[in-house]
A and B are shown apart, each in its own frame.
Chain A
């Protein structure tokens, strides 16, 4: 079992552009959560998907959106990128009602 996999591992974008990050959950996991981890900070909750719907959301603007597919994989989209969006983006999956398993993350740099 490969665990939670995220792609790409690194990404460089220009301010104002849009980005899509991808996550494949661990086998058997139906819930996907996304976190943003800025340098020197703990992960911050962005949102969570279950049954292809956004179930919970943290304090992030509407520029951050997501999607979950029938195979439980998920995408995180960020529009109109700002320099402050530079961070490590973590995906975590779990069976519904169980603690989270994290991926290695995607490092996004906005220039």
Chain B
């Protein structure tokens, strides 16, 4: 069955510490992968997508096809990084637009 798993529902770190939010997927083929973030009282917004290989707000994510993982990392967490993070593969039909399948999310809290 096609599945995306974010094993940690809650993650708490101290400011300045490294942070890694885990995402594992189980799909046939090679879907495009995204991380979305939701800050308190704000809408869900795109953080990064693996094909662009950009670093947004200091976050990076490497696609590991062997482990079928797409973990989100940041070397030094900031208090403003506290938010809900969702991993989301794209499972669109051929010729269609993006159809994201979201994990259950990880709530990151960065303590001062």
Contact A97:B97 (CB < 8 A) given known A56-B92, A102-B45: yes
CB-nearest residue of chain B to A42: B102
Q: Check B96–A56 contact: CB distance below 8 A.
A: yes
B25 contacts partner chain A, Cβ-Cβ < 8 Å: no
B24 contacts partner chain A, Cβ-Cβ < 8 Å: no
Q: Check A42–B97 contact: CB distance below 8 A.
A: no
Most buried by B among A42, A55, A103: A42
Q: Check A48–B96 contact: CB distance below 8 A.
A: yes
**Neighbouring B residues of A90 by C-beta, 8 Å:** 44
SS class of chain B's interface: helix, strand, loop or mixed? loop
Q: Check B100–A55 contact: CB distance below 8 A.
A: no
Residues 54 to 111 of chain A near chain B (Cβ within 8 Å): 55-56, 58, 90, 94, 96-105
Residue-wise interface mask of B (26-47) relative to A, using a CB-CB cutoff of 8 A (1 in contact, 0 not):
0000000010000000011110
B86 contacts partner chain A, Cβ-Cβ < 8 Å: yes
Most buried by A among B46, B49, B99, B103: B99
Name B104's contact: one of A42, A45, A96 (CB within 8 Å): A42
**Pairs across A and B, CB under 8 Å, 17 listed:** A31-B97, A33-B99, A41-B104, A41-B105, A42-B86, A42-B104, A43-B86, A43-B100, A45-B99, A50-B96, A50-B97, A55-B93, A90-B44, A94-B98, A99-B34, A101-B46, A102-B43
Point out residues on B near A: beta carbons under 8 Å: 34, 43-46, 49, 86, 88, 92-93, 96-105
Point out residues on A near B: beta carbons under 8 Å: 3-4, 31, 33, 35, 40-45, 48, 50, 55-56, 58, 90, 94, 96-105
